[in-house]
Amino acid sequence: MFIYSLPLFFTHIALASPLDLLIIFIGLFVALFISSLFLGKSRQQSSSDNYLLSAWNGRVALKWVFWPFFLILNVCLYAADTLVKSGMLTVSSWDDVHLMLLLPIIWWTTAVWQCSANTKLSVWAACARLLTISVFFEYGLKLLIRIDYPRIFFGCDELLLDYGSCF
């Protein structure tokens, strides 16, 4: 996350400084940590075979909901951005990758928020929730880059087939 988008945000877009975003990030973390102190008690761990439904209902340990999808999501986002930067993926294909990941991100966010009570330390619940919010901030940055600043990110001089997407 933020490997290509945050440097562009600070250098070319400059809507906020790194210090501004750090203050917001720390403020959100504190708010989420305080709210995680008041989470309900842990739900019974389900022995169901349906992992997706159990996670959606908050019956899976937080680490088993958060880490697998977080790692897969970051690998997919990094691969898509790297392929676009090298000119091996078109702009519309980059859009398709992000659109395909959107519904799983919504499931993942819901599952993380539901399973936040299933951890021993409140700090892990706050961190997991903060990183799910950060994913949506990353998507907002990528949407801003895609709509308003495509020539900076996509290398429109090298694109032959999808040059119209750079305007």
pLDDT digits (tens, 9 = 90+) for 39-82: 776 666 666 678 889 899 888 999 999 999 999 999 999 999 99
Q: Is residue 157 part of a domain?
A: yes
DSSP H or E stretch at residue 101: helix 91-115
Range of the domain at 63: 5-39+51-166
Name the burial class of residue 6, with classes exposed (0-12), middle (13-18) and buried (19+) by CB atoms within 10 angstroms of its CB.
middle
Q: Indicate whether 155 belongs to any domain.
A: yes
For residue 105, being part of any structural domain is answered with: yes
Please tell me the total count of domains within the chain: 1
Average pLDDT over residues 15-28: 93
Q: Return the number of other C-beta atoms located less than 10 Å from residue 115's C-beta.
A: 26
The CA distances from residue 78 to 63, 71, 94, 138, 146, in Å, are 22, 11, 11, 12, 16
Is residue 116 domain-resident? yes
Whether residue 14 is contained in a domain is answered as yes
Q: Give domain status of residue 20, yes or no.
A: yes
Is residue 46 situated within a structural domain? Answer: no
Number of Cβ within 10 Å of residue 53's Cβ equals 13
* pTM assigned to the model: 0.86
Quick one: which of 133, 57, 135 has its CA closest to 102?
Answer: 135
Instruction: Specify the pLDDT at position 3.
Output: 87
Residue 44 lies in a domain: no
